[in-house]
Amino acid sequence: MTLTIVLLAAAALIGIGLYGALSQQSFVMLMMGLELMLNGALLAVVGFWSQSLGGMPEGQLMAIIVMAVMAVEMAIGFALIVAVYRKRQADMTESIGTLKQ
């Protein structure tokens, strides 16, 4: 696989994630769009790593750390979504005006 194909796939993931994050009003779809953008960025980083470092393990370790951070971010995000839903019965971004109360 060439670097061009990997970068095109990463750009497609980022584009689809950006569209999903900006066009949807549901919290879950917003989080899925953000996750797709992070996956696209990770794919680009891994593609550059495989071409530049020639397979040294430092790039693999960084990719694993980024995936772990993404998993923690999604868990915290979904916990916040559940907390907002339990407090306000709101599952859409327009349903909540402020988060003060």
Read off the pLDDT of residues 37-60 as tens digits, 9 standing for 90 and up. 989 998 898 888 888 776 666 667
Read off the pLDDT of each residue in 8-34 and give the average, rounded to a whole number. Answer: 89
Domain 3-95, CATH class in plain words: mainly alpha
pTM of the predicted model over 0.85: no
Domain positions in the chain are: 3-95
DSSP the chain: --HHHHHHHHHHHHHHHHHHHHH--BHHHHHHHHHHHHHHHHHHHHHHHHHHTSS-HHHHHHHHHHHHHHHHHHHHHHHHHHHHHHHH---BGGG-S-S--
Mean pLDDT of 66-84: 85
